[in-house]
Chain A
Amino acid sequence: MDCYVAKGINVSCRTIDGEAFIFDQNTRLLLKLDEVGSFIWDQINGTKTIGQTAKICCKTFPDDNEEDILLSVQEFINDLHDKNIVVFSDAPFEGVMISAC
């Protein structure tokens, strides 16, 4: 089932020169994403589902196979979820940490 995705409240992040740096304040794990990962990261704002995010990627990277993109985005976001970097919900997120990021 498709679900909404938001950055965790525990996350500090900044995108510099197209590369996203993500710091988990709880585990002190620091990650750097590649260009495509960083693009997806910047789309995550609590108001889009994983499916909607994947569709935006398909439009941005039209040369790639749509089915592959959908699977990759799903896999990538699930990986971030396993690392407690993003959270899922059945409804759009609201709240102090979501609006600006």
Chain B
Amino acid sequence: MPVDNIQLSDITTLGKKNIIPSSVLVEVCYECNEKCVHCCLDDHTKPGLTLEQYDDLFDQMVEAGTFYIILTGGEPFVRPDFMEIVKSARKRRLSVTIFTNATLLDDEKIIALRALCIDEVHVSMYSADATIHDNITRVEGSFYKSMAAIKKMLAVGITVRLKCPLMNMTADGIVGIKNLAKELGVDIQYSTVITARNDGSLETHQCRLTSAQLQALLSDPDVVKQGTEPIYFRGNMDCIPCDTVFNGGAVDPEGNVYVCNQLRVIGGNILTQSFGQIWKESRAFQKLREIRLRDLKECTDCDLFQHCTRCPGLAFLEDGDILGCSSVAKVLAEARKKVGVYPTEAHIFSRPIT
């Protein structure tokens, strides 16, 4: 009875091959106690499904082969029953990561999270400067509340990661946030793209990095891992634009199922169909899975192709064509070309299923 040590990527590869939603993001509410200037949500009123409905959803995810879930909001801890939702997921042996601003975490919740052996807690931190952070959240004192919770979580042994979407008003403080993470002993997950809101409105774009800031950050290997050589995907027109359509999954607070929370194509609703059935049988999802590099006519002829990390979801949301050029990806690709760096293979197009 051999026991093999494997990598987490082996599970997602298996998911890709067998169309299993290995890693699913679950938005348990859109309500939030912060009012972040760059937030992608257009509606903060949706309270989420009931605890019993989440019990049922997690059962269906187990049946469908889901291994990890991300629980997020809005701010998930605004739900008085959120700890019960976490417990429900862990009871079913799902590996749980939580995205939160951590401001509502108290000692009792932190100890309970540790006891439930959750995987990681990702905390949104925008700057090491409390004033700048609070200006983004538009809640005075939020920086110190988040920091206090991070320190308490680390003290009890919870793995914490900082989520840091970079904006024009925070980019100059990149050294500060790096130092903050170093002092805390945690990793940072940066993002260089501020997306449109889910309804397609673009006012969040005013937070985006300037071209000069973007080029400076793309030169920083701590912020974005870059390749020095291009990946020659163009030679294989069967490449897949995004693996998430095969092995991802997202559920919004009303029970709508997406392949990814960024790709706003609804496959069905878990209140009327099972999660597994939607994942496998939704015609909308099947059509997304049929898309190959050859279908992206603008990309195959584009001289920025080797520098590009196009997200189909953003192309659809911001530019209205899932097969067309993504304007934000183009800006990033132009910056990479100027800096002379390339995306790594993990960034975008992946090999065909074999």
Contact = CB atoms under 8 A, between A and B. Distances in A.
Contacts of A23: 8, 67, 95
A18 to B, nearest CB: 12
Interface stretch (A34-42, A46-54, A86-94): A34-42
Interface of A: 7, 9-14, 16-17, 21, 23, 25-26, 29-34, 36-37, 40, 72, 76, 79-80, 96-97, 99-101
Q: Which 6 A-B residue pairs are closest in the complex by CB-CB distance?
A: A12-B95, A37-B1, A25-B117, A10-B117, A32-B4, A76-B1
A98 B117 CA distance: 14
Contacts of B68: 12
7 contacts: A12-B119, A14-B62, A21-B6, A31-B6, A32-B3, A33-B1, A100-B91
Contacts of A32: 3-4, 6, 10
A20 B7 CA distance: 14
Interface string B10-24: 110010001010000
B66 interface: yes
B173 interface: no
Nearest to A16: B65
A96 B86 CA distance: 12
A30 B6 contact: yes
Given A14-B67, A16-B18, A100-B92, A25 B119 contact: yes
A89 B163 CA distance: 41
Nearest to B14: A16
Contacts of B62: 14
B5 A14 contact: no
Contacts of A33: 1-4
Interface of B: 1-8, 10-11, 14, 18, 20, 62, 65-68, 87, 90-96, 115-119
Contacts of B96: 12
Of A16, A34, A36, A97, most buried by chain B (CB within 10 Å of CB) is A16
B8 A13 contact: no
B67 A12 contact: yes
A79 B5 CA distance: 14
A25 B6 CA distance: 14
Nearest to A96: B91
Given A16-B18, A25-B118, A96-B87, A11 B6 contact: no
A97 B91 contact: yes
Nearest to A97: B91
Given A23-B95, A36-B1, 14 more contacts: A9-B116, A11-B93, A12-B68, A12-B96, A14-B93, A16-B65, A21-B6, A30-B10, A31-B3, A37-B1, A76-B1, A96-B91, A97-B93, A100-B91
B5 A29 contact: yes
Contacts of B14: 16-17
Given A25-B117, A36-B1, A76-B1, A12 B94 contact: yes
A11 B34 CA distance: 33
Contact of A97 (B4, B66, B90): B90
Nearest to A17: B18
Nearest to A98: B91
A77 to B, nearest CB: 10
A9 B75 CA distance: 26
B117 A34 contact: no
Given A16-B65, A25-B95, A25-B118, A30 B7 contact: yes
Contact of B1 (A30, A34, A97, A101): A34
